[in-house]
Amino acid sequence: MVLVLTIAVGVCFFASLLPHLFPGTLIAMVGIGLNGSIGTFLAGVAPGVRPTLVEEDNALTLLGVVAVYVPVLALLVWGQRGR
């Protein structure tokens, strides 16, 4: 179960990086919706993150993508230790 969650979060992490790696391309549109939905949720829950982690159009910044996904991935990978 933890392996499946790790793969799913890893794929979402890569998809969220696409708009920052390839801005303005067709492949970047895969991550734009994901970044927008996570950014809207994050800005609604914690309004103080707006200038740093969430842009004005409710999309995650590159720092926001790292701040959201890296702790979750670290916990999931740490949970697989010893299996």
Alpha carbon distance 69, 50 (integer Å):
17
User: Which pLDDT value is given to residue 1?
Assistant: 86
Whether residue 82 has pLDDT greater than 80 = no
Tens digit of each residue's pLDDT (9 = 90 or more) over 2-44: 899 999 999 999 999 999 999 989 999 989 999 999 999 999 9
Neighbours of 42 (CB within 10 A): 19
Average pLDDT over residues 37-55: 92
pLDDT at residue number 54? 94
How far apart (Å, rounded) are the C-alpha atoms in residues 18 and 20? Answer: 5
Lookup result for tokens 């499946």: 4
Which phi and psi angles does 60 have, rounded to 5°?
Answer: -70, 140
pTM (2 d.p.): 0.88
